[in-house]
Structure 1
Amino acid sequence: MFLRRIELQRDNISSYNQYPFSIPSIKNLDQLDLHNKVTFFVGENGSGKSTLLEAIADKCEFNTAGGGRNNFYEVDASESSLGDYIRLSWLPKVTNGFFLRAESFYNFATHIDTLGTGPYGGKSLHHQSHGEAFFSLFSNRFRGRGIYLLDEPEAALSPARQLAFLRILHDLVQEDDSQFIIATHSPILLGYPEAVILSFDNGEITEIEYEETDHFQLTKYFLQNREKFLKDILEEE
């Protein structure tokens, strides 16, 4: 493990009434200790998980639109408003890594094309399907000891590809001593063994078990009661 602690520098915050400090999970954050090579951020949209992940990427000096330290390009609204207010504690500090931001991956692919470098599966990321491009990134760019910050990597991955991604993640963690922090809605990814799951719901960041996540409970209920579930939703007045 490399990143050990995230602290909110409260003395530098003038007001908690403005974004992102108005987000309950951020407002109530003092420090967050990380004690596992794989940490998942979960929570409803707007709960703050992507906001904090982006701030970590900013402090790592990764491009907050997606990329590593050496990917220089600009995307509207890609700056992190929280990055200036957190402190990261490392042991040891690493500079290798990557920030995947699913919503702006197209811009990263365009950036790579302008460089004319980077064999991502032997062809331009734009000449691959969305899922293939994601997987090419995982397979070719994620190398060696590093910290990898992923915001909803399942966005372009089929269930089978998500399982294959877990194998890549596992190899990087076990063989290359890498660290992952992943914001996700995927019950498949959340099932990675011995990972720490941090929930951003209920106004604070708390560690929960896999079976306690809404992702697991809702998916399990749906699969076991599909007809009743759909009838209740589609026929309610």
Structure 2
Amino acid sequence: MPFENYPVRGIAEHSLNALDRGHWPATLPAVAQVLDRGLTLSPATVFVGENGAGKSTLVEAIALAYGLSPEGGSTGARHTTRSTESVLADHLQLVKNAGTTRRGYFLRAETMHGFFTYLEENPGRNGDIQFHEMSHGESFLQLAVDRFRGPGLWVLDEPESALSFSGCLALLGVLKELLAGGKSQVILSTHSPVLAALPGAQILEVGPWGLRPRDWEDLDLVGNWKSFLDSPERFLRHI
């Protein structure tokens, strides 16, 4: 296999710690598929799918297995409130590329308020950034710009919940620049057709079928948004 510069080549079930297939999250088809067959990751991998399909469960587990903080942050972050993460990370084995960086960061929209407080109370090398004085979207983008630098594994769970359309485009710019360096890796779960259009990304659609690779224009997500924008009244009369 040719030498790759990005951190994680793939994931598989841990050879010494199998997960009981009869219990959640192994009952999710996407998780079961990963455990049974493994999953090859690209420099950029985007997971899309309906709520409850398992995309955030997979993204969270990859981040934790890499050593990132479950509520956001780097491998050194120690912020924690209430533990809600699944056990999946304990049963995964990362297939890492040799000689790559161990740096990384995990951004998850659902825990950002508490995480911003943690960051303000524990300022990093760039000094104090008053995240709570910004809007949710502004603070999210500022964190990405400030922390996502150079080689590393950059994991994001549904960041669009904090971002406007222009904010999503701005985040795409940050991620595109990271990937252009050739030594970074982005793993992203999203409901946004904008973020799903990350240039060069492997797109995996998550659902009752498990995981399936899809082109952006063939995604249910994209088709549904196009249909709604073309004729919103067709959808609104049914609610």
Q: Normalization by structure 1: what TM-score?
A: 0.91
Of 81, 90, 110, the residue aligned with 2:117 is 110
Residues in 2 aligned to 1:46 and 1:16: alpha-carbon distance in whole angstroms: 17
Aligned residue number for residue 40 of structure 2? 33
Aligned residue number for residue 87 of structure 2? 81
Matched letter for residue 129 of structure 2 = K
Of 6, 14, 22, the residue aligned with 1:17 is 22
| Residues 57-206 of structure 1 mapped to structure 2, 5 A cutoff | 57-92=63-98, 93-117=100-124, 119=126, 123-175=129-181, 177-206=183-212
Shift of 1:10: 6.7
Shift of 1:119: 4.1
Residues in 1 aligned to 2:184 and 2:52: alpha-carbon distance in whole angstroms: 28
Assess if the C-alpha contact under 8 Å between 2:203 and 2:215 holds in 1: yes
Q: Does 1:53 align with 2:59?
A: yes
Residues in 2 aligned to 1:179 and 1:39: alpha-carbon distance in whole angstroms: 8
Aligned residue number for residue 212 of structure 1? 218
Residues in 1 aligned to 2:83 and 2:11: alpha-carbon distance in whole angstroms: 23
Shift of 1:170: 0.8
Shift of 1:78: 4.1
Partner-residue secondary structure (3-state), 1:199: strand
Assess if the C-alpha contact under 8 Å between 2:137 and 2:163 holds in 1: yes
Q: Does 1:7 align with 2:12?
A: yes
Shift of 1:195: 1.3
Assess if the C-alpha contact under 8 Å between 1:28 and 1:203 holds in 2: no
Residues in 1 aligned to 2:104 and 2:20: alpha-carbon distance in whole angstroms: 33
Q: For residues 47-100 of structure 1, give each alpha carbon's deviation from its aligned partner in whole angstroms, at most 9, with x where no partner exists.
A: 111111111111111101111011112121244411111111111342111011
Partner-residue secondary structure (3-state), 2:170: helix
Identity over aligned pairs, percent: 36
Partner-residue secondary structure (3-state), 1:28: helix
Partner-residue secondary structure (3-state), 2:210: coil
* Root mean square deviation, CA, Å: 1.8
**What runs of 5+ residues in structure 1 fail to find an aligned partner?**
none
Count residues in correspondence.
231
Residues in 2 aligned to 1:207 and 1:185: alpha-carbon distance in whole angstroms: 16
Residues in 2 aligned to 1:27 and 1:16: alpha-carbon distance in whole angstroms: 7
Residues in 2 aligned to 1:116 and 1:193: alpha-carbon distance in whole angstroms: 33
